[in-house]
Each structure stands twice: as C-alpha cells, then as structure tokens.
Amino acid sequence: MEVAAAKMIGAGIACIALVGAGIGIGNVFGSYLSGALRNPGAAASQTTNLLLGFALCEATGLFGLVVALIILYG
Amino acid sequence: MAMNPMEQFTIKPLIEAPLFEIGGHPIYFTNQSLLMIIVAVAAGLFLTFAVKPGRLVPSRSQSVAELSYEFVGNMIHSATGEDGLKFFPFVFTLFIFVLCSNFFGMVPGSFTVTSQIAVTLALSCLVVGMVVVVGFAKHGLGFLKLFVPHAPWYLLILLIPIEVISFLTRPISLSVRLFANMLAGHTLLAVFAGFVVSLGFAGGILSGLAIAPMLLIVAIMLLELLVAFLQAYVFAILTCIYLNEALHLHDHH
C-alpha cells in the first residue's frame, strides 16, 4: 500500500476516538439532567462539576484528533 | 482554491533577522510573540485601569474586573481551601492569560497563541513544576506519600507505578487538552469557511446554498466562545486541584 494512502486511513481510524467523546459528553449531560430533575434544589451547585466533566470528556476525544493531525501533517 | 485549514497555525517571523541566538538556535520575533505581548499588555492594562477609579458603585469595566477576581477567588477557595488563597496571583494570571489568548484568537485574522503546543506545554510544565516545588517545600519527603494511596500492600505494587505515571502525564494531558480544543475549533471554522468559498464560486443555485455553511460558522463561533472560556476555566481549576493535592496530600480539608 502507498504510504500516503495508509496515512489517510490511519488518520481516519484515529478519529474513532471521537466516538468515545460523544458517548461521554452525552453521558455527562444525561446524568446531570436526570439528577437535576430528581433534585432540582441541588442542580445549581453542580454546574461547575458539569462543565468540568464536559471539558474533560471532550478533551479525551480531541487527543485522538491530535493523533490524526500528527499522522497527516507531522 | 481549497485552502489548507492548518495554514492559520503557521508561525512566521515578523522581523527577518533573528533577535539573538541560544545555543546556535536563532530566536525570531514571530506573530506568536507579538500576539502574546498584545494579550499580556491588554489584559494587564485593562485590569489595572478598570479598578483604578475604585468607585463604590462600579462602572461596567470595573465590575468585569471585580467579577473575574471574585470568580477565581471562589474557585481557589472551593478547590483548595483557605491556605490555597496564597496562590491566587499565580492562578489568576494563568486564567486571565489563557482566557484572553483564547478570546483574542477568536478575532478573525488574528493568531491563537494557545493553539501552539509549545505555549500550552510551557504553561502546564510551569503548573506541575510549581506543584512539585510547593509539595516538597510543605511536606519535605512526605510529599512522596502522594503516590501511595490507602490500599493493601499487594495492590500498592500495582497502584504506585500507576500513580507515578498519572502524575508524570499531567503536563501532557493539561497542555494537549487546551491545545487540541483550540486547534480543533479553529480547524473546524476554517473547513466550513472553505465550504462557503467553494460553494460561492460554484455558480448557479449552489452559490445561494453557500449561506448554509455560513450560518453554521456563526453557530460554531458561539460554541467556540463557550469552549474558549471553558478551557481557560478547566486549566485554572485543574491547577487548583493539583495544588490542593500538593498542599493536603490525601486528607480532605
């Protein structure tokens, strides 16, 4: 196989990491909502944790994206 | 016509001649250096002059400065407790610098400082170096207890290497998180901008369709503004969490 083609395929495969990020972010917000609807009084105090969880989750997927970019341009 | 979406991240020297040399490596004054100076000067000047009048009923800029001060103060207090507050200048400077560089990067045509791994890695190495220094200064060799969780001895064989590795990868995860978020966001914007250009020049009905990616760019821009703030916040709060571990080891305050 040509190296250029293999690079493209590899970069595409590396982007599968974003699947996990998608599931994770959905989980973060879904769990927050179900918790918040059960106990709306405690919801406001947990928004910082929510945002922290969202950002941490999103970042893990982006690690995969970085790998893809390194493969393509590195 | 297709533009390279990564082109916006290239570092170009603004002055042809290198400023000086370190160990044979020429050091240039680049667009990145310029943006970093602009960010630092703008943030410093704004925060200085916003609180200068010291009105009892704050003006708009004064309340922005006071709000950011209180925001970071509360964040440090909730994450590290009372004795973390002496690191307020450090965390506040980091937060404001990252926030302002993220926001300055959102200005079309400018340059995002935090999309360079060199910058974010330097910042996160500063944070982790700070944590190590603070930990050893406060606890002496007892700081190494950070790597020994409460567990039976046979688990410790496994857990101690894991703890050490997770500590050592902190500068990487901290820097790559910020860098990747900025890089991904700006690449996405550039890719969609490329769609607008190529659709616009396609002619006929396709030119009219160019409005769709245009609207999407506006939406992504809003998301990116949120991400720009969120990443600065995450960077600052993780700094607080790491400092908290160095200050209190495993016991909860």
**Contact criterion met (CB < 8 Å) for A63 and B176:** yes
Instruction: Kindly report the length of chain B.
Output: 253
CB contacts under 8 A, A 13-72 vs B, are: 48, 51-52, 54-56, 58-59, 62-63, 65-66, 69
pLDDT attached to residue A32:
94
What residues have CB less than 8 Å from B117, skipping those under 6 apart?
B175, B176, B179
Residue B27 φ then ψ, to 5°:
-105, 120
CB contacts under 8 A, B 158-177 vs A, are: 173, 176-177
Mean pLDDT of chain A: 88
- Kindly state the tokens that stand for B210: 């160019």
Mean pLDDT over residues A27-56, rounded?
A: 89
**pTM score of the predicted model:** 0.86
Of residues A65 and B74, more confidently modeled: B74
- What ranges do the domains of chain B cover? 27-248
pLDDT attached to residue B251:
63
For each of chain B's 253 residues, which pLDDT tens digit applies?
A: 456 777 788 888 888 777 788 888 888 888 888 999 999 999 999 999 888 877 788 888 888 889 999 999 999 998 888 888 889 999 999 999 999 999 998 988 888 889 888 999 999 999 999 999 999 998 888 888 888 888 888 888 888 999 899 899 889 889 988 998 898 888 888 888 888 888 888 877 888 888 888 899 999 999 899 889 989 999 999 999 899 988 888 765 4
**Contact criterion met (CB < 8 Å) for B230 and A54:** yes
Contacts of A59 in chain B (CB under 8 A): 173, 176-177, 180-181, 234
Contacts of B179 in chain A (CB under 8 A): 66
pLDDT attached to residue B124:
93
**Contact criterion met (CB < 8 Å) for B177 and A59:** yes
- Kindly state the tokens that stand for B232: 């600065």
| Structural domains for chain A | 3-73 (1.20.20.10)
pLDDT attached to residue B55:
78
**Contact criterion met (CB < 8 Å) for A69 and B6:** yes
Comparing CA positions, the residue from B112, B76, B104 lying closest to residue B92 is B76
pLDDT attached to residue A55:
81
